[in-house]
Structure 1
Amino acid sequence: MRATVSNGSTPTRCNEGPSNKALKKQPKVHVADGSEDVEMTLVDVTDSFEDSQDQRRENVQPVNEYRHRYNTRQRKKKQADGIMEDNQNTNSMDQQHQKSDPKMKKHQKKVRKQPNKPTEDHAKAIDTSIDFAPLSIAEANLSVKESRCHAKLGNFLEATSSLEKIGNEFKLFETYMEMGKLYTLVGRRTNAARAYVEALRKMPYCIEALEALATTGCKEVDVMEAIEQGIRARSGAYQYVFPESETNAGSQSDLLVPVKELVKAHFSARRYDQATALEYFKSLQSEFPNNPHLLLNIANTQCKLGDFSTAEATFQSVRRLDIHTIDYMDRYAFILHKRMDKNKLNSLSNDLLKTSDRRPETWVCLAFLSDLYGSKEKSLMYLDKALSIDSRHSFAHRIKGIFHISENRPEYAVMSFFRANEISKDLESYEGLVEAYLASEKYKEAVVTAKNVISAAPNNARALALLGITLSRSSSREAQKRAKRALTKALALDSTDLRSLLALVNLHLKDEECDSCVELLSRGMESLRTNDQDLPLLHTKLGNVYTMKEDYENALKHYHSAISLNPHDSDAHQGLEELEKLMRSLNGDTSVIAQVDNSADF
């Protein structure tokens, strides 16, 4: 309905008073209603307009209530921002005063060394926050800011409750990711898994959510379903905007192939099936070559498989692609520490310090470097620094446990390994925890821990080896028989597992079964590569077995083979010296010694 004034001058009211309804020179108004033009006076138009206004007031009453609540929140938000600005201005004035006062210089140096701590501004901002459910995206963002203030103050439960009161219709991808992180911090793994699954439905290519779900106990099928729903929704939205695009011509399964392989790789690693995980990562790497993220996962998996030489080459490839990479560099430092390569470890520590000193990997690397220089106390201090930056860095907890074991502090090692295993349940943490329990003479706890690993991975060689090594520490004859069965099964699954081999050899040596030991060690040397760093150890062990069999000629050959492969092998040198003394004391005949020395190839 449209009204227009056709002609006439500006109307003015008469002076007879309000009772007079007439207007001087009332103009004609043409109202366009459909196809007909209806002539109305201005008084009729005004009355109809007032009626429509009354009806509009009745309809917008709920909207006004909503606006009142929204304005209340905006006013409180401005108050919080004002508090923050006032405190910032006050801090700047205090800093100017401290600069002018010479007595505050020493105090300033101490304050500069201290890390940034949350101030009272976050608490004051929380006091001005809302206490009812959000009704819009803007109010939901305010609740997210409130949650971040609680998290900065260390109040993770309050931070979680601030996000929980947001309705599902206002939760964004970032909201679900923050909820997942907070649920993980407070130990609510089931809720964390649900939050990460919802995040995948909104962003199916989020790698961080995939990696987090692999550690929360979520089922692989649920993750696959969430990814399919997310990609289906995104492809549907894209097809709605671009209906004739060639991108939608392919099937959805083609889009899911890289993500599916990535999910299978992470969940295989969670099931302790590192070999299968490595295959998936390598297939992805062939499809996306020179991808630093995939190369880092490949190197980490190779470390867990014990293939440190290949892992070192993979880490070097990553650093050639991006020298500023920090992720998993503490694992690379672990390999360099194992090889006692001070130069490369020193160079790596300098590069990480230049890149960032606010990451735990940097300080773990410095801990390894300090340990090589013989400063164990400084190494533990650097590890504490790494954990102060990120208390959930499981690798730092595990390395701290290893250092405590080397310092003969098994009680402290138990706490470190237990914390590492609580954050991330991997075989390395389980092995360290069992070793710490055995060093603390807590045999029952060690057996229970080893059985927990078997229940999680019943056909894993390392899990069976862990159970066999634990049972071999018992004096019970029945327990040692069970240990032999477990270690034999572990070697059948993985013939290159050195720990299983040596533990089984020691059990046979207790029963004086030297022939079985010779057979096991010979088979182990055949399965290992010729340039493997473990070959000298096997030669030394075989020399000890032949010495027990009184086959001195073969014992001398294997001791010399061990020394030729590793001239610094102290065990081989010690075994050779004891054997020569034994042979001289028996008959004083050194012809065999001379014959072996002449035939030895150095």
Structure 2
Amino acid sequence: MEDVWRSGLSESIRLLSSIEQCRQPKKAAKKTSKTEATIVASIRQGDALYESLEYAGAAAHYSKALHLTAGGGGEKKSDDLELVWKLASCHEKNRDVKAAIGIIEEISFKQRCQSSKLLSLAAHLYKITSQRRNALTHYRAIIKQTPLALEAIEGVLSLGVQSSELIGSVGGRIPAPVLRKYPWLTPWIRAHEQMYMNRFLAAADLFQITGDLIPDCSDLLAVHGYVLWQADQQQKAKVAFQRACSRDPHLLKYMDSYAHLLFVKEDRVELENLAARLLSTSQLYPQPWIALGYLNCLNARYTKALYFAQKALSLDERNVEGMILKGRALHSFKKYHDAIKHYKEALRLSSGYFEAMKGLVMCLLDNQMTRLAEATAQTAVRVLPQSARHLVLLALVYNRDASRREKMKQTLKEALRLQPGMAPASLLLSRLYSEEDDHQKAIALLKTSIEQSENANLTPLHVALGDLYRKTRQLQEALTSYEFALKCRRDCKKARNGIAQIQRDRRYDATTADQDDGW
């Protein structure tokens, strides 16, 4: 039996442990030795089932072992605390959070402090059940024991605690010698503080400082890419994500956000490569399924996208990207009520995620809930008054009401003041000018936006400019704009259609001129 246990053959261990527990002991055997053997067999069978992802069966065996351990109602030994952690972990993985918390609360906080793993699990469970005070108590206990427990530090910051509590010169929970020994720790903490306060540009700057101190760290590059993506610095975010992937080809964290970014940029080839890489890395996490979901959204296969979104959420029910993906797929099927529910849940978990807010507002508009959509967009603008994207979102709401065209125009101008060259704002405002027959003003706006834009993908701006030139019969300028659009993106159908239309217009003009000469 011991040889099999040391061999690590989980299935053999499970079967032999089951047989061992069913054997009748000899009459001479003592009751205590029988109990100890049963405990050992139960724990080993539980470990084998845990390794096979059979958490319910593992929990039953751990519970039996815990019940049989000596001092079940008194002070727990270190081995007993390990058993408590395993049992609570089984319930947590089976999504029975209430049972997991119940197991942990059977022992005192003083005893929990003897196991950092138990403290960490308890903090996580309290956090996801919105028990902020209990979560903070456990995270602080971990930091007191292990000042470099980055997961606990991030947990504290995610619950709204200011960085001064951790690194303050007076009363800071992380000792000054630790901060001096690891100079990257202070900007890392401040960067996460800004990130959880939805100040993504400030977070990006601080992560850049941290990255200069520890260059080529894949995890740091990934979170840097994430905050740049949230700050609408799409090209910079893509570069950061690419560097993270090249540094660690098996990286999973934040790769679902990278997939979302590639979907927004319509980079099909890169998204296909990412999905294939993530699938080869692991299929037990939501990231590969989210990448596949966005790839199918890009190909307008929303039934498959919905399936992959559900698959991702079955692996992690709190995955924000999975909720947004599922909301997008449900929106495409006009299941507005269900889509709104998923967008709201995504915003509850990540209040600053613009794509979730945009999905919610557009879903409300399509469901003819215009007042609620306007109120939601206005609230977002009040929370983030310096966000050009949220102003554009509010302008899209105004666009549904013809009487608010002037208000829409002012909102778009404010967005362009905050972010010169912003493509969505420029496209909407130029369309308004064009509808008012002020084509020259629209052309001038688009030309200025192309010069000022920090976005590497200028295709939509060049296509819109080409359409305006063609509308004003400036065919050579229109052809040049369409060609620029194709240089930015070779598979741009609108640019190809524009060039084809120009060729037809020129043939028509030539035919008309010949007829005039003949007349």
In the superposition, the TM-score normalised over structure 2's length comes to 0.76
2:456 maps to 532
Change (3 A) 1:566 1:453: same
Runs of 5+ in structure 1 lacking a partner?
A: 1-73, 93-113, 236-247, 592-602
Q: Give the Cα separation in 1 of the matches to 2:195 and 2:410.
A: 26
Paired residue for 1:204? 147
Q: Which amino acid aligns with 2:148?
A: Y
RMSD: 4.2
Aligned to 1:84: 42
Do 2:85 and 2:117's aligned partners in 1 also have CA atoms closer than 8 Å?
A: no
Residue 299 of structure 1 and its aligned partner are, at CA, apart by 2.2
Which letter does structure 2 place at the counterpart of 1:487? Answer: L
Aligned to 2:365: 438
What does the per-residue CA deviation read over 1:259-282, in whole Å, with 9 as the maximum and x for residues that have no partner? 221122122223333222222111
Kindly provide the CA deviation profile for residues 256-313 of structure 1, in whole angstroms up to 9, marking residues without a partner as x: 7422211221222233332222221111111112212111112223333444444444
Identify the residue that residue 323 of structure 2 maps to in structure 1: 397
Partner of 1:17: none
Q: Do the aligned residues in 2 keep the contact of 1:80 with 1:128 (CA within 8 Å)?
A: no
1:497 aligns with 2:422: yes
**Which residue identity lines up with residue 497 of structure 1 in the other structure?**
M
SS in 2 for 1:154: coil
Q: Distance in 1 between matches of 2:210 and 2:486?
A: 42
Give the counterpart letter for 1:357 in structure 2: Q
The range that moved more, 114-123 or 383-392, is: 114-123
1:437-476 mapped onto 2 (5 Å cutoff): 437-476=364-403
Q: Which digits, 9 at most, give the CA deviation of each residue in 1:151-202, with x for residues without a partner?
A: 3553322432443454443332333322221123223345434433443333
* CA apart distance, 1:546: 4.5
Contact 1:123–1:149 under 8 Å retained in 2: no
Q: What is the one-letter code of the residue matched to 2:461? A: L
What's the offset of the Cα at 1:214? 4.0
**TM-aligned CA deviation for residue 423 of structure 1:** 2.0
1:121 is matched with which residue?
A: 60
Deviations 1:189-226 (A, max 9, x none): 45434433443333332222233344333344445459
Rg comparison, structure with higher value: 1
Cα distance change of structure 1 residues 507 and 338 upon mapping to structure 2, 3 Å threshold? closer
- Paired with 1:563 and 1:207, the residues of 2 have a C-alpha distance of 46
State the partner residue of 1:598. Answer: none
Q: Is the 8 A contact 2:179 2:185 kept in 1?
A: no
Q: Secondary structure at the match of 2:402?
A: coil
CA 1:497–1:342: 2 relative to 1, 3 Å: closer
Shift of 1:463: 2.4
C-alpha deviation, 1:360, in angstroms: 1.2
- Cα 1:496–1:178 change in 2 (3 A) is farther
Higher relative CO (Cα under 8 Å, sequence separation at least 6) belongs to 2
Pairwise mapping of residues 563-582 of structure 1 onto structure 2 (< 5 A)? 563=486, 566=489, 568-575=491-498
- CA distance in 2 between counterparts of 1:143 and 1:352 reads 34
Q: 1:563, CA displacement in angstroms? A: 5.0
**What TM-score do you get using the length of structure 1 for normalisation?**
0.66
Partner of 2:467: 544
Contact 2:226-2:254 within 8 A present in 1 as well: yes
Describe the shift of the 1:442–1:126 C-alpha distance in structure 2 as closer, same or farther (beyond 3 A).
Answer: farther
Farther off after superposition, 124-133 or 222-231: 124-133
Q: Which residue of 2 aligns with 1:260?
A: 186
Q: 1:556 to 1:197 in 2, by over 3 A?
A: same
- For the 8 Å contact 2:97–2:125, the answer to whether it is kept is yes
Question: What is the CA–CA distance in structure 2 between the aligned matches of 1:471 and 1:122, rounded to whole Å?
Answer: 60
Structure-2 change in CA distance of 1:126 and 1:445 (3 Å): farther
Cα offset, 1:427, TM superposition: 1.8
How far residue 80 of structure 1 moved from its aligned partner, in angstroms, is 8.3
1:192 aligns with 2:131: no
Q: Is the 8 A contact 1:197 1:223 kept in 2?
A: no
Contact 1:300–1:311 under 8 Å retained in 2:
yes
Aligned partner letter, 1:121: A
2:388–2:416 contact (8 Å) kept in structure 1: yes
Q: Is the 8 A contact 2:221 2:240 kept in 1?
A: yes
Identity of aligned residues (%): 22
Structure 2 counterpart of 1:163: 104
Does structure 1 residue 272 correspond to structure 2 residue 230? Answer: no
Q: Distance in 1 between matches of 2:106 and 2:260?
A: 44
